[in-house]
Amino acid sequence: MHLNLVERAQLLHDLFPEEIPKLVSYIDGMCAVIIEDQEQSRASWSKGLISFDGWLNLATEIQAIIKKHGNLLYKRHSLFATELFGWTKGLVSAHCLIVYVTTQQLPNPKFKAMIEILFDQSASA
């Protein structure tokens, strides 16, 4: 059985609801960096699937969603999953998850492992 991106995000939220606030904050921060450091981000852009302008638009949209829904994203798994991982927004959010587990010291090794299992791009294709 294959889960789509929204279903994987919902499962992650269901299994680790206590981790979601920090995760949403990290996604918000990564989107802020994309938006604030446009020149540097554009110069180093190498993602072939989407243009940098498309990536920038998605990051802006994700920040607006986080601002609009705030704490509800922590409490409602379906809102978290559909708003942050639905459609092309999922490309940015899933990328943020992979960066999160590869650059941050996460105290819960099971949470890290689940992100790697659910969102590793080579495994989820």
Give pLDDT tens digits for 33-50: 989 988 888 888 886 778
Q: What is the pLDDT of residue 47?
A: 66
Give the Cα separation of 31 and 21 in Å (integer): 15
Give the Cα separation of 124 and 20 in Å (integer): 21
Structural contact between residues 18 and 94, judged by C-beta atoms closer than 8 angstroms: no
Q: What is the pLDDT of residue 123?
A: 42
Q: What is the pLDDT of residue 43?
A: 84
* Average pLDDT taken over every residue of the chain: 90
Give the Cα separation of 81 and 83 in Å (integer): 6
Give the Cα separation of 56 and 92 in Å (integer): 9
pLDDT for residue 125 is more than 70 = no
